[in-house]
């Protein structure tokens, strides 16, 4: 993989003598980083690492191959140049480059300095921008994840780390690490994992502050236009509502400060994609700029998803997801649990707490169910989880569609088995209490997930797991939905594509051997009126209905046949179409639900 900025002019890096701070750990082992951008136009970071007490016979220094949360091979060492090492007196130490990610230093001294440059990693195929680094001098934007900036000496990830950032003059700085008192722009981390998990932001961003339970939160916004104070405050309020919602759900806020970094970008054909990435004390978002009016509405479910990640997988997780091996991608079958159930709760808790219109939940989940309704799955979601880093984008997206549907069905199964005394909520809270890193808990294996949920709820779930999670059986929507106060909507499959015209709806396309073709409709016919099951004629222009919603409208009215009055050239004809072919069109609350079904829906969805 080539370095895109490799041919640009690189300023000379001056290596000087240095002084170490007093170590606070038993063996005096610590590492201090300095990160600067001497010339923003060059789009290159200058990095030095002062190592104290790190003295094996041969020191192996690694750069990460991948970034936690992104699940994609990046090989950050490909973007490193001018790697060098020297002792306290400034004498060069012998460095051998083993590969793009690995350097070896023979006979390291007790106090030494490593220096290198990191080139801008703005775009990579299959790699989201927010997992890399970017310097844009023209727009005063600098962003980098810790994995893009920092390497680590083998065997010394669990010692204290500090870092000092030197932004270009008059540029702002935001990072979620704890500040070191008395030292400007200097921050501390208990380990390399903590350092690597705290992205840095520099530039001309806007910034807001809010507090929940006395804990400070920062919101930064970088956008193509200045965000008005009103829109900014609305975005902050939306963010705060999510924080309050989840802190109440888990009964804790396991951090001293939190940073939300929002980047909005004008859409272009060159964009790799949009999304967000979670960290232990922050989250980063790159989203399309759609103007101010719908900014908070667009961001709300995305914030909800990333903030849930603060617990899963940041606080409780399978063995493969921490402590991290930065040289090898993790293999886990549990991304359906850590990503799929996260998306379920991201939507569910907003709905249950009336922070989002119910139509959003049902439209979103109906869209997910379309590809799953009544069919055997292509493969187990455990297989997709395990192979995700090597899959194309469309497969990755499917994890975020099937995963939340599994959450919905698993939650329903638990509630039905326990007569609504227990739910998936109880399992999530139990995971955090018993297995959360911050509560002194331990990790668990992929195959422990279902037994842990069973222990937390009392439900028997092995058959569900074998059929629908590690298996490929069609999900039992028709069986489960009525029991939880929901109903499946089946819409007629007419086999026509319609668009508006002055007289009514024009037939743009007719599917071969479809219902409309069998009824005699032709391309370019103009439908002016409809009649359902011999009832009253209704003029198309009086329906106030979008053509794409016509099948749903028919399903709501009911009936077995529809008659179209069409204009065809100079003639007017009436053509009858049998509604004998229906497809899944979504699911909705059943207004006639009562008793236990209604109780379950109200408890589960809040409506």
Q: Which pLDDT tens digit goes with each residue over 405-418? A: 999 999 999 999 99
pLDDT one-digit tens code per residue, 164-180: 999 988 889 999 999 99
Mean pLDDT along residues 469-484? 95
Q: Is 283 exposed, middle or buried (0-12, 13-18, 19+ CB in 10 A)?
A: buried
Helices 341-352 & 229-250 angle (0-180, nearest 10): 110
Least confident of 149-153, 169-173, 410-414, 445-449: 169-173
CATH class entry, domain 205-303:
mainly alpha
The residue to which tokens 């859409």 are assigned? 267
The candidate with the shortest Cα–Cα distance to 445, out of 586, 590, 316, 547, is 316
Kindly report the average pLDDT of the chain as a whole number.
Answer: 88
Query: Can you give the pTM of this predicted structure?
Result: 0.85
| pLDDT value of position 24 | 41
Considering only CA atoms, give the Rg of the chain: 29
- CB atoms inside a 10 Å sphere around CB 460: 12
Q: Give, for 335, the enclosing helix (H) or strand (E).
A: helix 335-335
CATH number of 1-202: 2.60.40.3650
| pLDDT value of position 105 | 93
For residue 32, pLDDT beyond 90: yes
Least confident of 397-401, 458-462, 464-468: 397-401
CATH number of 319-484: 1.10.390.10
**First-to-last C-alpha distance (Å) of the chain:** 52
Distance of alpha carbon 62 from alpha carbon 99, whole angstroms: 10
| Residue 67 vs residue 47, higher pLDDT | 47
For residue 520, pLDDT beyond 50: yes
Residues contacting 142, CB < 8 A, separation 6+:
37, 40, 134, 135, 136, 167, 168, 171, 200, 201, 202, 203
Least confident of 82-86, 130-134, 349-353, 574-578: 130-134
| pLDDT value of position 102 | 96
| Residue 475 vs residue 549, higher pLDDT | 475
| Residue 559 vs residue 151, higher pLDDT | 151
For residue 559, pLDDT beyond 50: yes
| pLDDT value of position 123 | 64
| Residue 20 vs residue 326, higher pLDDT | 326
The pairing of strands 200-203 and 258-265 is unpaired
The candidate with the shortest Cα–Cα distance to 35, out of 199, 156, 221, 279, is 199
Same fold, 205-303 and 319-484: yes
68 phi and psi angles, rounded to 5 deg? -55, 135
Distance of alpha carbon 463 from alpha carbon 466, whole angstroms: 5
Q: Is 162 exposed, middle or buried (0-12, 13-18, 19+ CB in 10 A)?
A: buried
- CB atoms inside a 10 Å sphere around CB 187: 22
Distance of alpha carbon 105 from alpha carbon 61, whole angstroms: 8
Least confident of 19-33, 202-216, 249-263: 19-33
Question: Across the beta sheet with 102-106, what order do the strands follow?
Answer: 95-99, 102-106, 58-62, 152-153
| pLDDT value of position 581 | 85
pLDDT one-digit tens code per residue, 102-143: 999 988 888 999 999 998 886 665 455 555 566 666 667 888
Mean pLDDT along residues 399-404? 92
Q: What percentage of the chain reaches a pLDDT higher than 90?
A: 63
For residue 234, pLDDT beyond 70: yes
Distance of alpha carbon 373 from alpha carbon 476, whole angstroms: 8
Least confident of 190-199, 251-260, 370-379, 469-478: 370-379
The candidate with the shortest Cα–Cα distance to 183, out of 19, 319, 313, is 19
| pLDDT value of position 6 | 28
| pLDDT value of position 210 | 97
| pLDDT value of position 7 | 27
Distance of alpha carbon 172 from alpha carbon 222, whole angstroms: 12
For residue 562, pLDDT beyond 80: yes
For residue 18, pLDDT beyond 80: no
The pairing of strands 161-166 and 30-36 is parallel
For residue 43, pLDDT beyond 90: no
For residue 19, pLDDT beyond 50: no
**Would you give the distance in Å from CA 236 to the centre of its chain?**
19
300 phi and psi angles, rounded to 5 deg? -55, -55
Find out whether 281 and 315 touch, Cβ atoms under 8 Å: no
CATH topology of domain 494-580: Pdz3 Domain (2.30.42)
| pLDDT value of position 10 | 27
Peptide bond into 370 cis (omega under 30): no
Per-residue CA distances from 299 to 9, 241, 306, 346, 586 (Å): 39, 12, 11, 12, 24
**Would you give the distance in Å from CA 185 to the centre of its chain?**
29
For residue 554, pLDDT beyond 60: yes
Instruction: Report angle CA 363, 590, 406 to the nearest 5 degrees.
Output: 50
Distance of alpha carbon 78 from alpha carbon 119, whole angstroms: 9
| pLDDT value of position 273 | 64
Distance of alpha carbon 565 from alpha carbon 123, whole angstroms: 54
Q: What percentage of the chain reaches a pLDDT higher than 70?
A: 91
For residue 2, pLDDT beyond 50: no
Mean pLDDT along residues 244-250? 96
For the chain, how are helix, strand and coil distributed in percent, rounded to 5? Answer: 35, 30, 40
Instruction: Report angle CA 350, 352, 353 to the nearest 5 degrees.
Output: 65
Least confident of 118-132, 305-319, 462-476, 488-502: 118-132
Output DSSP code: residue 434.
Answer: H
For residue 4, pLDDT beyond 50: no
List the domain boundaries for the chain. Answer: 1-202, 205-303, 319-484, 494-580
Mean pLDDT along residues 474-499? 93
The residue to which tokens 């290159």 are assigned? 44
- Region of 395 (left: φ > 0; alpha: ψ -120 to 50; beta: rest) is alpha
- Region of 157 (left: φ > 0; alpha: ψ -120 to 50; beta: rest) is alpha
């Amino acid at each position: 993989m080539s370095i895109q900025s490799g041919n640009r002019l690189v300023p000379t890096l001056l290596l000087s003598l240095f002084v170490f701070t007093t170590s606070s750990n038993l063996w005096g082992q610590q590492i201090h980083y300095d990160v600067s951008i001497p010339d923003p136009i060059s789009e290159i970071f200058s990095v030095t690492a002062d190592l104290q007490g790190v003295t094996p016979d041969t020191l192996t220094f690694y750069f990460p191959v991948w970034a936690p949360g992104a699940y994609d091979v990046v090989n950050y060492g490909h973007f490193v140049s001018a790697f060098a090492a020297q002792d306290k007196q400034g004498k060069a130490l012998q460095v051998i480059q083993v590969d793009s990610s690995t350097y070896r230093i023979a006979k390291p001294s007790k106090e030494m300095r490593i220096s290198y440059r990191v080139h801008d990693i703005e775009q990579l195929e299959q790699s989201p921008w927010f997992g890399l680094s970017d310097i844009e001098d023209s727009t005063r934007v600098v962003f980098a994840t810790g994995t893009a900036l920092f390497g680590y000496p083998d065997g010394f990830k669990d010692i204290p780390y500090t870092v000092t950032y030197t932004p270009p003059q008059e540029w702002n700085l935001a990072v979620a690490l704890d500040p070191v008192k008395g030292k400007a722009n200097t921050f501390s981390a208990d380990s390399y994992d903590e350092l690597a998990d705290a992205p840095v932001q520099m530039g001309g961003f806007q910034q807001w502050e809010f507090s929940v339970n006395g804990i400070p939160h920062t919101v930064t916004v970088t956008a193509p236009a200045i965000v008005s104070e009103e829109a900014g405050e609305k975005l902050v309020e939306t963010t705060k509502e999510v924080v309050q919602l989840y802190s109440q759900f888990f009964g804790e806020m396991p951090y001293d400060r939190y940073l939300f970094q929002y980047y909005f970008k004008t859409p272009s054909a060159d964009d790799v994609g949009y999304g967000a990435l979670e960290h232990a004390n922050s989250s980063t978002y790159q989203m399309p700029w759609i103007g101010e009016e719908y900014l908070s509405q667009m961001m709300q479910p995305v914030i909800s998803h990333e903030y849930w990640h603060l617990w899963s997988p940041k606080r409780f997780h399978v063995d493969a997801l921490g402590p991290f091996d930065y040289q090898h991608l993790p293999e886990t079958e549990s991304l359906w649990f850590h990503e799929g159930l996260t998306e379920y709760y991201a939507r569910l808790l907003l709905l249950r707490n009336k922070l989002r219109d119910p139509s959003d939940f049902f439209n979103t989940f109906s869209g997910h169910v379309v590809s799953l309704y009544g069919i055997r799955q292509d493969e187990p979601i455990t297989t997709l989880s395990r192979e995700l880093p090597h899959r194309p984008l469309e497969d990755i997206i499917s994890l975020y569609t099937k995963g939340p549907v599994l959450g919905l069905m698993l939650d329903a199964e638990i509630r039905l088995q326990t007569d609504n005394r227990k739910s998936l909520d109880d399992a999530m809270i139990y995971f955090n209490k018993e297995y959360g890193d911050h509560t002194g808990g331990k990790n668990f294996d992929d195959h422990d997930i279902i037994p842990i949920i069973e222990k937390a709820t009392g439900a028997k779930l092995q058959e569900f797991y074998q059929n629908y999670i590690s298996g490929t059986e069609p999900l039992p929507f028709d069986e489960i939905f009525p029991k939880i106060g929901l109903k499946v909507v089946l819409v007629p499959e007419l086999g026509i594509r319609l668009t508006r015209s002055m007289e009514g709806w024009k037939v743009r396309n007719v599917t071969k051997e479809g219902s409309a073709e069998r009824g005699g409709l032709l391309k370019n016919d103009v439908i002016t009126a409809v009649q359902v099951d011999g009832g009253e004629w209704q003029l198309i222009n009086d329906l106030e209905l979008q053509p794409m919603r016509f099948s749903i409208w028919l399903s709501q009215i009911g009936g077995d046949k529809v008659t179209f009055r069409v204009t065809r050239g100079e003639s007017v004809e009436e053509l009858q179409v049998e509604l004998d072919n229906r497809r899944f069109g979504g699911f909705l609350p059943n207004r006639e639900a009562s008793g236990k079904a209604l109780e379950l829906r109200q408890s589960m969805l809040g409506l």
